[in-house]
Amino acid sequence: PVYVIHSFAINGKGIIMTSIKASLSFPPRTFLSNHRQSELSALFSTLEPVKGQLIPGTYKGTLFAVKGLDWLPAILKVLLYGLLTTWLNPWRGKGFSEDGGANLWGIGPFIAQWGFYCFDKNESEEIFLDYGVEKNAFFLKPIMGEIRVFQEGLYLARMQYRAKSGVKTLLYFTLEVEG
């Protein structure tokens, strides 16, 4: 597919994407991994939230835009995020059931679930992943996830941490339907 990028300037500090339509000639994850958290936040706010329910199953995950790494030169970020798509990164993605799910971790064929969440919906039926479940360790309970539709079968998601000082975005990742 090809993507068309619409952009605008925020506070005169650069170009931020606001919407993407099916028309880029390179893979969406490559496009997404080349942007700062602030740019992804602007994009995220324009994407349609996942409403109702995700289809139960396994979703392959790809990490990028980790908080605190924006200062790295672009080539180092490309290398680091490239390594995160290899066997060196044990996070494989997420598994969803009817009422929640878990992160999938593993090396090769050995996969385990750790970091459980339930679905929390707001008034508009937007789904949030709430890690405040009993079986999680105390440091996982403040985590909250949000998922938006990037394109059919590919979702842009972010992991946030609820602290006394407010909600902080820690990283962005994609989820792709496996199958």
User: How much is the pLDDT for 43?
Assistant: 87
Q: What is the mean pLDDT of residues 75-80?
A: 80
Place 133 in a pLDDT band, splitting at 50, 70 and 90: very high
At 111 the three-state DSSP class reads strand
Q: What is the mean pLDDT of residues 126-146?
A: 94
Tell me which H or E stretch contains 64: strand 57-64
* pLDDT exceeds 70 at position 175: yes
Name the residue among 115, 72, 98, 104 with its Cα closest to residue 178: 104
* pLDDT exceeds 90 at position 146: yes
Name the residue among 97, 146, 103 with its Cα closest to residue 121: 146
**119 or 32: which carries more pLDDT confidence?**
119
74-87 burial: b if 16+ Cβ within 10 Å, else e: eeebeeebeebeee
User: Model pTM?
Assistant: 0.78
User: How much is the pLDDT for 8?
Assistant: 38
Q: What is the mean pLDDT of residues 107-114?
A: 91
Parallel/antiparallel/unpaired status of strands 15-21 and 4-9: antiparallel
The span from the CA of 96 to the CA of 140, in Å, is 18
Alpha-carbon 116 to chain mean position: 16
Alpha-carbon 30 to chain mean position: 14
